[in-house]
């Protein structure tokens, strides 16, 4: 019953899309368990680049069952746009894509509140993606959310919409001085989405549990990253869901004892989008070099990502809260041009030394990183597929990170393409061969 959870170890954008796509070769089911279309997973297949926001990256593999779990918040307009984008590129998914009936909907007032709230916060803003993610999760928790199943019952949908939109519009108009949302227009629009999405809606928790019982391999796809987790991240500068491994249980409806492996995705340096503390951030030429070489611009919003050195306090924290059984190190090749590399091993804050990430954000803001320096390898690692073929200095860098983080790499990514990967240990332990040959689907 292997269930492998893939989690970002930093602030998202670690290159999960490529790793998930690669792991999908061995998976029967790929399931997203949290977040929404704030995520942007980039996958390169041959010469083609795909950016997926809501649909699991497994959709690019023929025959893989893809699930949008109950923990995800779904903007139906964004989902349909993504579906149409795939169809226009000859990727089909009928029978292979299912959406949990319990997944909550992102409504137009969620997006309006997200944007108005950020504007009102001024320089205390979170830097959200403006997709309505936070307000949709807030409604879920306050029990005023509308779920996928409700969308399929017009009378029930109308009733819930009428109640909630009255409150939302009052809030929008009276508190934010923003435009209200038209109830009839929303109703008609969403009934159109219902007609299109109806056939994909299912009890996905039942499906996943039945598959697990039959020994099928499930890949749980995390979006964002550990330090954007609403509980374990740099609150309040976080997203509103639980990207950490525990989120896979609640977000898919599986027991913790079903999870057999947790793989952390560790970018060889650090990036962050939006506001919030980032101790190893580089606001200099080196930061710019990482941004350019790593193409560090948001796949969802196009915003430039803040870049900095790798921080092993951040990785160790992620190892603890997720229980990583292995890691995949990504974007190693981005560091090829550097003369030397720094690794953060602790912090100094107000004259005091910290060996681990402080949980109080007020402390983290004032932390200065303590670095060790390693020589750069100054040669290309792009496309290397054997560990022994890596420059010795690159091997030393990886081994240092692994030792300081306390977890071994299973995969090292040396480029955007599927085959630009060093496989040190096969994921889905105990299985030897890919489930099927990965190939691009054609209609």
Cβ atoms of 132 and 106 within 8 Å: the answer is yes
Is the omega angle on the peptide bond into residue 236 within 30 degrees of 0, that is, cis? yes
For 162, list phi and psi in degrees, rounded to 5: -60, -45
Of residues 39, 66, 338, 367, which one binds ligand IMP by CB under 6 A?
39
Position of minimal CB gap to ligand IMP: 274
Q: What span, in angstroms and rounded, lies between the C-alpha atoms of 99 and 32?
A: 10
Q: How far is the CB of 298 from ligand IMP (least distance, A)?
A: 7
Which residues, 297 to 356, sit near ligand IMP by CB under 6 A? none
Stretch that binds ligand IMP, among 192-200, 237-245, 327-335, 430-438 (CB under 6 A): 237-245
Q: Please pick, from the candidates 30, 74, 197, 273, the single residue that binds ligand IMP as defined by CB under 6 A.
A: 273
Instruction: Work out which of 34, 102, 239, 330 binds ligand IMP, going by CB under 6 A.
Output: 239
Count of residues that bind ligand IMP according to CB under 6 A:
20
Among residues 228, 282, 318, 341, the one that binds ligand IMP under rule CB under 6 A: 228
Q: Which is nearer to ligand IMP, 65 or 241 (CB)?
A: 241
Q: How far is the CB of 13 from ligand IMP (least distance, A)?
A: 5
Cβ closer to ligand IMP: 65 or 280? 280
Q: How far is the CB of 247 from ligand IMP (least distance, A)?
A: 14
DSSP 127-155: ---SSSHHHHHHHHHTT---BHHHHT-HH
Interacting positions 117-136 with ligand IMP (CB under 6 A)? 126-129, 131, 133-134
CB of 306 or CB of 441, closer to ligand IMP: 306
Answer for which of 4, 10, 12, 328 binds ligand IMP (CB under 6 A) is 12
Nearest distance from residue 272's CB to ligand IMP, in Å?
A: 7
Residue in 9, 10, 24, 38 binding ligand IMP, rule: CB under 6 A: 38
- Least distance from ligand IMP to the Cβ atom of residue 383, Å: 26
Compute the least distance from the CB of residue 388 to ligand IMP, in Å: 34
- What distance in Å separates the CA atoms of residue 229 and residue 220, rounded to the nearest whole number? 16
**Residue closer to ligand IMP (CB basis): 13 or 25:** 13
CA distance 384 to 127: 37
Q: Does 277 contact ligand IMP by CB under 6 A?
A: no
Pairwise CA distance, residues 339 & 159, whole Å? 63
Q: Which of 223, 344 has the CB closer to ligand IMP? A: 223
42 vs 209 by CB, closer to ligand IMP: 42
Count other C-beta atoms under 10 Å from residue 176's C-beta.
15
User: Minimum distance from CB of 166 to ligand IMP (Å)?
Assistant: 24
Shortest Å, Cβ 51 to ligand IMP? 11
274 is an interface residue for ligand IMP by CB under 6 A: yes
Q: What is the DSSP string of 309-363?
A: -EEHHHHHHHHHHHT-SEEEEE-GGGGGG-SEEEEEEEEEETTEEESS--S-HHH
| SS3 of 201-249 | EECHHHHHHHHHHCCCCEEEECCCCHHHCCCCCCCCCCCCCCCCCHHHH
Cα separation of 287 and 300, whole Å?
A: 21
Return the axis-axis angle of helices 154-170 and 108-121, rounded to nearest 10°: 20
- Structural contact between residues 11 and 243, judged by C-beta atoms closer than 8 angstroms: no
Binding of ligand IMP by 224 (CB under 6 A): yes
13, 28, 139, 296: residue in contact with ligand IMP (rule CB under 6 A): 13
Please provide the DSSP assignment of 99-133 as one string: EETTPEEP-HHHHHHHHHHHHHHGGG-----SSSH
234 vs 381 by CB, closer to ligand IMP: 234
Catalytic residue among 37, 41, 53, 104: 41
Q: Compare residues 65 and 70 and give the one whose CB is closer to ligand IMP.
A: 70
Closest by CA position to 208, among listed 82, 99, 58: 99
Q: Please tell me the distance from the alpha carbon of residue 166 to that of residue 132, in angstroms, as a whole number.
A: 18
C-beta atoms surrounding 125 within 10 Å: 14
Mark whether 61 is an active-site residue: no
Residue 255's CB is within 10 A of a number of other CB atoms, namely 10
Rank residues 2 and 145 by Cβ distance to ligand IMP and give the closer one. Answer: 145
Whole-number minimum distance, CB 92 to ligand IMP, in Å? Answer: 26
Q: How far is CA 86 from the centre of its chain?
A: 20
| Positions marked catalytic | 13, 41
Residues that bind ligand IMP (CB under 6 A): 12-13, 38-40, 126-129, 131, 133-134, 223-224, 228, 237, 239-240, 273-274
């Amino acid at each position: 019953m292997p269930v492998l959870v893939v989690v970002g170890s930093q602030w998202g954008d670690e290159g999960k899309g490529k790793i998930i796509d690669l792991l999908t070769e061995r998976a029967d089911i790929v399931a997203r368990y949290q977040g929404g279309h704030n995520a942007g997973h980039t996958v390169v297949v041959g010469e083609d680049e795909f950016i997926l926001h809501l649909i699991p990256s497994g959709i690019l593999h023929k025959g893989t069952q893809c699930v949008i779990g109950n923990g995800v918040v779904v903007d139906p307009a964004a989902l349909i746009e993504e579906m149409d984008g795939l169809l226009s590129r000859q990727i089909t998914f009928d029978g292979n894509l299912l959406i949990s009936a319990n997944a909550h909907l992102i409504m137009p007032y969620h997006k309006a509140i997200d944007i108005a709230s950020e504007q009102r916060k001024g320089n205390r803003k979170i830097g959200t993606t403006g997709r309505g993610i936070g307000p949709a999760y807030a409604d879920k928790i306050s029990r005023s959310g509308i779920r996928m199943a409700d969308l399929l019952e017009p009378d029930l949908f109308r009733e819930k919409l009428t109640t909630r939109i009255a409150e939302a519009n009052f809030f929008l108009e009276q508190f934010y001085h923003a435009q209200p949302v038209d109830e009839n227009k929303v109703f008609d629009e969403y009934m159109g989405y219902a007609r299109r999405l109806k056939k994909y809606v299912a009890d996905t928790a039942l499906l996943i549990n039945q598959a697990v019982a039959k020994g099928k391999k499930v890949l749980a796809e995390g979006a964002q990253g550990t330090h954007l987790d609403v509980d374990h991240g740099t609150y309040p500068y976080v997203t509103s869901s639980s990207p950490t491994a525990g989120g896979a249980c609640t977000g898919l409806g599986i027991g913790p004892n079903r999870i057999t492996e947790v793989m952390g995705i560790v970018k060889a340096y650090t990036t962050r989008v939006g506001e919030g503390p980032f101790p190893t951030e580089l606001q200099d030429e080196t930061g710019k070099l990482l941004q350019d070489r790593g193409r560090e611009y948001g796949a969802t919003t196009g915003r430039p990502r803040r870049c900095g050195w790798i921080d092993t306090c951040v990785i160790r924290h992620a190892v603890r809260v997720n229980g990583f059984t292995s890691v995949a190190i990504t974007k190693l090749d981005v560091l090829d041009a550097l003369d030397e590399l720094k690794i953060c091993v602790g912090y100094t804050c107000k004259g005091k030394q910290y060996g681990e990430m402080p949980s109080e954000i007020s402390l983290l803001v004032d932390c200065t990183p303590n670095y060790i320096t390693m020589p750069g390898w100054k040669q290309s690692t792009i496309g290397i597929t054997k560990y022994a073929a890596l420059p010795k200095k690159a091997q030393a860098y990886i081994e240092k990170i692994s030792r300081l983080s306390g977890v071994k790499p299973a995969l090292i990514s040396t480029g955007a393409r599927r085959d630009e990967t060093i496989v040190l240990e096969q994921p889905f332990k105990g299985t030897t061969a890919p489930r099927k040959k990965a190939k691009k689907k054609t209609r």
